[in-house]
Amino acid sequence: MTPAVFAVLDLDAARHNLSKVRSCAPTASIMAVVKANGYGHGLLRMAEALKNADAFAVARVDEGIELRKAGFNQRVVILEGFSNAEELDDVLFYHLEVVVHSLTQLVILESKTASDLCVVWLKLDTGMSRLGLTENEFALAYQRLTRCAAVKQPFNLMTHFANADDIYDNKTLKQISLFNETVAGLSGECSLANSAGVLGWETSLSDWVRPGIMLYGISPFPGSTGQQLGLKPVMTLQSRLIAVKQLNVDDTVGYGGSWTCSKPTVLGVVSIGYGDGYPRHAKVGTPVLVNCRRVQLIGRVSMDMITVDLGPGAYDKVGDPVTLWGDGLPIEEVAQYADTIPYALVCGITQRVRLIVRE
Ligand SMILES: *Cc1c(COP(=O)(O)O)cnc(C)c1O
């Protein structure tokens, strides 16, 4: 039995997107970012599809452990690093690699013996003001790490961009320069670029790139689609019509009666709602594909259902296929109508949406 709501995952598309990263950054190694359950696509499934990457990156230690327990023995970088000694023990036990972004972490590392060698990515804050050491702290931290018995030498160096998705913002160039000046003459491999860096900032490519969203076929840039960048969507969110009815002038639709019918039309009810991760704030007019035809969302998004205007005289019937985003309907467009970003849409898919791999 096909479930009413499911997300079809095209793993060939993921492999295609990985090859797109390779062609954008032919000399760089690739750290495929699969945090947050592979951006909602399933951690293990995406790791399997992207196993030819040079390393994986996840946000948290438990995500790294999950990869290890499933048998992935590639390099795995924990982007948030560890935040206490117990987490560092897990990092060492499971041979994970860690971002070191604070002096607190440094002190914990210094208390470890030489028997457990840890691969470290020392992070400089070049303007994001989230994780990372300041320029002033960096030189001292570098020296201390060099003398740290538990750290594999030479360790790696990294930073993260705050605004790389705006290709007109000079801030990224300033971040690149500050990083390059700070690490000049130091040994260790370097990493700066996220997806926006890979696609928009050639001078950021360096030794390692860290693409996330582009691997899922989604554009990191507002106002463009993955397809326009040569990417293919991995996730297509699908459902079906569960009711079709005639609407007459002055009928109101949905909770709050916020949409009023001004000319007779046919209403379609689709089984998808915010309980599935469809954005509750999707506005009237958000595109939806019914039988491969674009129609518009009307009324409010409910927990389990949305309503669409099928148009006067529409022939659609109960059971007909509906696409909410993905193949044929760019998620970037849907995100814009919902005042959100595509990252949040794919990550927000809930447990009850069955993920199905397209063979
Ligand atoms: C999430 C993340 C990435 C990937 O970012 P995308 O915009 O999805 O490509 C890269 N580096 C760090 C530190 C991250 O947290």
pLDDT confidence tier of residue 115, bands split at 50, 70 and 90: confident
- Statement to judge: residues 87 and 189 lie in one domain: yes
- Statement to judge: residues 57 and 117 lie in one domain: yes
- Statement to judge: residues 244 and 126 lie in one domain: no
**Relative to the CA of 131, which ligand 1 atom is closest?**
13
3-state secondary structure 69-92: HCCCCCEEEECCCCCCHHHHHHHH
Say which residues have a Cβ less than 8 Å from residue 26's Cβ, sequence separation at least 6.
Answer: none
What percentage of the chain exceeds 70 in pLDDT? 100
In this structure, are strands 287-290 and 293-298 parallel, antiparallel, or unpaired?
A: antiparallel
pLDDT of residue 23: 98
Tell whether ligand 1 has an atom less than 6 A from the beta carbon of residue 38: no
Q: How far apart are CA 311 and CA 167, in angstroms?
A: 39
Q: Are 37 and 7 in contact (CB under 8 A)?
A: no
End-to-end CA distance of the chain: 17
pLDDT in tens, 29-62: 999 999 999 999 999 999 999 999 999 999 999 9
pLDDT of residue 327: 97
Which residue, 300, 244, 235, 309, is CA-closest to 274?
300
What is the CA(269)–ligand 1 centre distance, in A? 37
pLDDT in tens, 86-110: 999 999 999 999 999 999 999 999 9
Q: How far apart are CA 34 and CA 42, in angstroms?
A: 9
pLDDT of residue 1: 76
pLDDT of residue 2: 82
Q: Find the angle CA(336)-CA(342)-CA(298) to the nearest 5 degrees.
A: 45
173 part of a folded domain: yes
Say which residues have a Cβ less than 8 Å from residue 24's Cβ, sequence separation at least 6.
Answer: 198, 199, 205
Region 4-28: what's the mean pLDDT?
98
Domain closes at, from 220, 250, 276: 220
Pocket test for ligand 1, best of 210, 341, 346 (most atoms within 8 A of CB): 210
- Statement to judge: residues 95 and 164 lie in one domain: yes
Q: 197 phi and psi, to 5 degrees?
A: -65, -45
- Statement to judge: residues 22 and 114 lie in one domain: yes
- Statement to judge: residues 195 and 69 lie in one domain: yes
Say which residues have a Cβ less than 8 Å from residue 228's Cβ, sequence separation at least 6.
Answer: 219
Say which residues have a Cβ less than 8 Å from residue 233's Cβ, sequence separation at least 6.
Answer: 10, 13, 216, 217, 218, 226, 227, 325, 326, 327, 330, 331
- Statement to judge: residues 201 and 244 lie in one domain: no
337 part of a folded domain: yes
Average pLDDT, the chain: 96
pLDDT in tens, 239-250: 999 999 999 999
Q: 298 phi and psi, to 5 degrees?
A: -130, 155
In this structure, are strands 156-158 and 119-123 parallel, antiparallel, or unpaired?
A: parallel
Res 359 pLDDT > 80: no
pLDDT of residue 358: 86
Q: 247 phi and psi, to 5 degrees?
A: -110, 140
**Relative to the CA of 99, which ligand 1 atom is closest?**
13
CATH of the domain at 62: 3.20.20.10
164 part of a folded domain: yes
- Statement to judge: residues 269 and 197 lie in one domain: no
- Statement to judge: residues 250 and 161 lie in one domain: no
Q: Structural domain of residue 28, as residue ranges?
A: 11-220
319 part of a folded domain: yes
Mapped onto helix, strand or coil, the DSSP state of residue 251 is coil
Structure tokens at 211: 């693409």
116 part of a folded domain: yes
Tell whether ligand 1 has an atom less than 6 A from the beta carbon of residue 159: no
- Statement to judge: residues 59 and 183 lie in one domain: yes
61 part of a folded domain: yes
Res 113 pLDDT > 90: no
Res 116 pLDDT > 90: no
Q: Could you give the number of structural domains in the chain?
A: 2
Which residue, 139, 107, 100, 146, is CA-closest to 123?
100
Domain closes at, from 220, 250, 265: 220
Continuous segment of H or E residues that includes residue 296 = strand 293-298
H helical segments located in 147-249: 171-183, 195-200
pTM: 0.97
**Relative to the CA of 79, which ligand 1 atom is closest?**
13
Domain closes at, from 220, 249, 282: 220
18 part of a folded domain: yes
Res 160 pLDDT > 80: yes
Region 102-131: what's the mean pLDDT?
93
228 part of a folded domain: no
Q: Point out the residues that are catalytic.
A: 35, 255
- Statement to judge: residues 35 and 177 lie in one domain: yes
pLDDT of residue 19: 98
CATH of the domain at 263: 2.40.37.10
Rg (CA), the chain: 23
- Statement to judge: residues 300 and 337 lie in one domain: yes
pLDDT in tens, 208-260: 999 999 999 999 999 999 999 999 999 999 999 999 999 999 999 999 999 99
Say which residues have a Cβ less than 8 Å from residue 293's Cβ, sequence separation at least 6.
Answer: none
Which residue carries 């000046």 as its tokens?
Answer: 181
Q: How far apart are CA 304 and CA 275, in angstroms?
A: 6
pLDDT in tens, 77-92: 999 999 999 999 999 9
